[in-house]
Amino acid sequence: MPFWLELIVSVFLLVGGVFLLVGSIGLARLPDIYTRLHAPTKATTLGLAGLLIASMLLFSWQNSTLSIHELLIALFLFITAPVSANMIAKTALHHRLPALERTQNQDLAAAARERLTPDAPKKKGKK
Amino acid sequence: MLDKVILIVSFMICVALFLNLWRLLIGPSVSDRILALDTLYINSIALILLYGIYSGGNLYFEAALLIAMLGFVSTSALCKYILRGDIIE
Amino acid sequence: MATPTGFKFFPMPIHSVLLFVVWLLMNNTLAAGHIFLALILSITIPWLLAGLQSAHPPIRKPWLAVRYSLMVIMDIVTANFEVALKVIGPMAKLQPGFIAVYLDISSDLGITLLASTVSLTPGTVSAEVSEDKKWLYIHALHLENEQALIDSIKQRYEKPLLEILGC
């Protein structure tokens, strides 16, 4: 195997590993459930994508044919990660889990729980 | 060089798995535990893929794909059970 | 909505192409036998499942859709580095917050795509949609300027989706 390919594969593996670790550190470290949602769902997905790209490059070289079936796992994870994050956020809202005290706009969380529209005068997003 | 890198990355993933396990044990609410399980299965996919790269086998890909699908289905089933008290309505 | 196409044998053309590609990817081959098998599967499965299809708007501008997905992937990669720094950095500085975004997009597919994009781009997770499908509730990891975040979501992600889907 040429040195440059080994280098590229190693870089992708290391980046993937670092992102997986950062996602799990976030899961262990962040203060409340809503902030904890951010780290694992995104950083780990990107980390796994890094590992998959490395595996793709390596197997394509070893078998000297294009090996792209790892893309399937990456695609599947990119589709499912937001769905599971959304469902976990829903269960957290449903259980009335307390958000961090300095969280802004906590009244919106109460409105979201009942699936109401936010108070009428607050049309912030409207153009 | 690649062998050493694989060793380092698998060490990182093992640390990540232990952190997830910790959150799974202490996690104050059920949602935290589901989130920890969700992250746990993604990390285990990564470990299996890494072993596949190390040993050069193609079979590990199938296992990783299966875990990805089962993990998503079980996460959504658990969430649905908590939200509605039933999985299939 | 009626089925978007007049093809009798391909009731779901996009799904047929997707099934064909996924079958070949799963077997990681381009052998003639597998191509034949993929053709059979990608014709019969949509034919059997056509009755279950839910109505959704057709994709108006496929090239814009490709450009949109490339832009989202770039955003995911660049913004993940920022979030990684925030996760490692001091916790006391974090200013999490909820925001509500008014949705101009009205179709179910559009709302799903927008919510998924918001969840995948780091710093924001979509939490809930209001009952009348007019408001999207988002939790932000670090909320500094509420209006700026709402505007960037509307400008960057909702506008191209509106153009792609038409409603």
Closest by Cβ to A44, choosing from B39, B52, B82 = B39
**Are C98 and A37 in contact (CB < 8 Å)?**
no
Closest by Cβ to A28, choosing from B6, B19, B82 = B19
Domain ranges of chain A: 3-98
* pLDDT of the residue at C13: 75
Is the pLDDT at A121 greater than 80, yes or no? Answer: no
Residue stretches of chain B with pLDDT short of 70: 86-89
Residue among C159, C148, C54 at smallest CA distance from C117: C159
Where is pLDDT greater, at A115 or A73? A73
Tell me whether residue B36 is in a domain.
yes
Please check whether residue A16 is in contact with residue A54, taking contact to mean a CB–CB distance below 8 angstroms: yes
CA–CA separation, C102 and A108 (whole Å): 13
**Are A28 and B42 in contact (CB < 8 Å)?**
no
pLDDT band with cut points at 50, 70 and 90 for residue C1: very low
Show the domain range for B60: 2-84
* pLDDT of the residue at C161: 83
Please check whether residue C100 is in contact with residue A111, taking contact to mean a CB–CB distance below 8 angstroms: yes
CA–CA separation, B15 and C48 (whole Å): 47
Closest by Cβ to A109, choosing from C87, C98, C125 = C98
* pLDDT of the residue at C9: 61
CA–CA separation, C121 and B30 (whole Å): 25
CA–CA separation, A21 and C114 (whole Å): 28
Mean pLDDT of A19-32: 87
CA–CA separation, C34 and A35 (whole Å): 46
pLDDT, tens digit, 9 for 90 and up, residues C40-84: 888 888 888 777 776 666 777 778 888 888 888 888 888 888 888
Structure tokens at B64: 């990783």
Where is pLDDT greater, at A26 or C57? A26
Strands of the sheet containing C97-102, edge to edge, are C97-102, C135-140, C124-129
Tell me whether residue B28 is in a domain.
yes
Is the pLDDT at A119 greater than 60, yes or no? Answer: yes
Structure tokens at C70: 């490339």
Q: Number of structural domains, chain B? A: 1
* pLDDT of the residue at A127: 38
CA–CA separation, C96 and C146 (whole Å): 11
Please check whether residue B60 is in contact with residue B48, taking contact to mean a CB–CB distance below 8 angstroms: yes
Exposure string of A30-51, with b = 16+ CB inside 10 Å and e = fewer, is: bbbbbbbbbbbbbbbbbbbbbb
- What 3-state class would DSSP assign to C135? strand
Is the pLDDT at A126 greater than 70, yes or no? Answer: no
List the Cα angle A109/A110/A111 in 5-degree steps: 90
Q: Which parts of chain C fold into alpha helices (H)?
A: 13-27, 32-49, 62-88, 108-120, 146-153, 159-165
What's the mean per-residue pLDDT of chain C?
A: 80
Phi, psi of C102 (to 5 degrees): -75, 130
- In percent, the amount of chain A with pLDDT more than 70 equals 91
Tell me whether residue B24 is in a domain.
yes
State the ipTM, two decimals. 0.86
Tell me whether residue B12 is in a domain.
yes
Is the pLDDT at C20 greater than 50, yes or no? Answer: yes
**Are A76 and B65 in contact (CB < 8 Å)?**
yes
Tell me whether residue B89 is in a domain.
no
* pLDDT of the residue at C155: 83
**Are A25 and C87 in contact (CB < 8 Å)?**
yes
pLDDT, tens digit, 9 for 90 and up, residues C82-95: 888 888 878 777 78
**Are B5 and A10 in contact (CB < 8 Å)?**
yes
**Chain C residues whose beta carbon lies within 8 Å of the beta carbon of residue A30:** 87, 91, 94
CATH number for the domain that contains residue B10: 1.10.287
Please check whether residue B77 is in contact with residue B36, taking contact to mean a CB–CB distance below 8 angstroms: no
**Chain B residues whose beta carbon lies within 8 Å of the beta carbon of residue A83:** 72, 76
Tell me whether residue B68 is in a domain.
yes
Residue among A51, A17, A69 at smallest CA distance from B62: A69
Mean pLDDT of C139-158: 82
CA–CA separation, B46 and B51 (whole Å): 9
**Are C137 and A46 in contact (CB < 8 Å)?**
no
Q: How many CA atoms lie within 13 A of C138 on its CB side?
A: 32
CA–CA min distance B88, chain A (Å): 16
Is the pLDDT at A68 greater than 80, yes or no? Answer: no
Structure tokens at B80: 């649905």
* pLDDT of the residue at C137: 85
Mean pLDDT of C131-142: 82
* pLDDT of the residue at B21: 92
Residue among A44, A125, A86 at smallest CA distance from C157: A125
Is the pLDDT at A42 greater than 80, yes or no? Answer: yes
CA–CA min distance A108, chain C (Å): 6
